[in-house]
Amino acid sequence: MDQFANEAVLLNRVGRHPNIVRMLGMVKQSRLDGLPLIVLEYVGGPNLLDFLHSKLKQAGSSLSGSAVSIVHYDLVGRLFRADLFSIAVDISHGDLSARNIILTDDFHAKLCDFGLARSYDDSPKEKVSPDCGLPIRWAAPELLTNPPVRHPKSDVWSFGLLLWELFSLGATPYPTCVTERAVAACVLSGWRLAVP
């Protein structure tokens, strides 16, 4: 099954959840350009990464941890429920990060972009390499081994990195690692991020 069809099948399996962008339908071949389309609900706000960067820019050096924490704890709860729900329907999101969370106008978080999602029983056949274009900085150690293993703990790892992004106000994980290959080597050697 190609990546587009896989995304549509998994989004359909997710169904309705208040913290996951809902699939409204799909078209196998559009009249405009002949390409397939997935129609998703419209979410009007920014992605979480852009929101965090704007908060950091607005606050400058006067940012108080407690002022930001109230918003973060509410977001964390909502995102955790979305992640738990996808795990409950046997789906590994595969790209859980701040850039794939969209905020509604009333500040509800919606998980989107299921392009790398897989069923837990559909383990990847090849190693996730630093050169493969996948989000290595958010990949769990077991996905960097050969053969890779995909299970609920993989998204729990990524959720931890999402939390790190939240509390660092959108910093890139493993900021001292210049390349994805260096990130993979650090993760596999047991090195972990400092508390932001």
Catalytic residue list contains 74: no
**Which listed residue (83, 95, 113, 155) is catalytic?**
95
Report residue 165 as tokens: 């992004």
β-sheet bridge partners, residue 118: 92
Alpha helices, DSSP H, located in 22-64? 48-59
Q: Cβ atoms within 10 A of the Cβ of 28, count?
A: 11
40 and 71 Cβ atoms separated by less than 8 Å: no
Determine the 3-state secondary structure of 156 from DSSP: helix
Q: Using CA atoms, how far apart are residues 81 and 20, in angstroms rounded to an integer?
A: 10
Catalytic residue IDs:
95
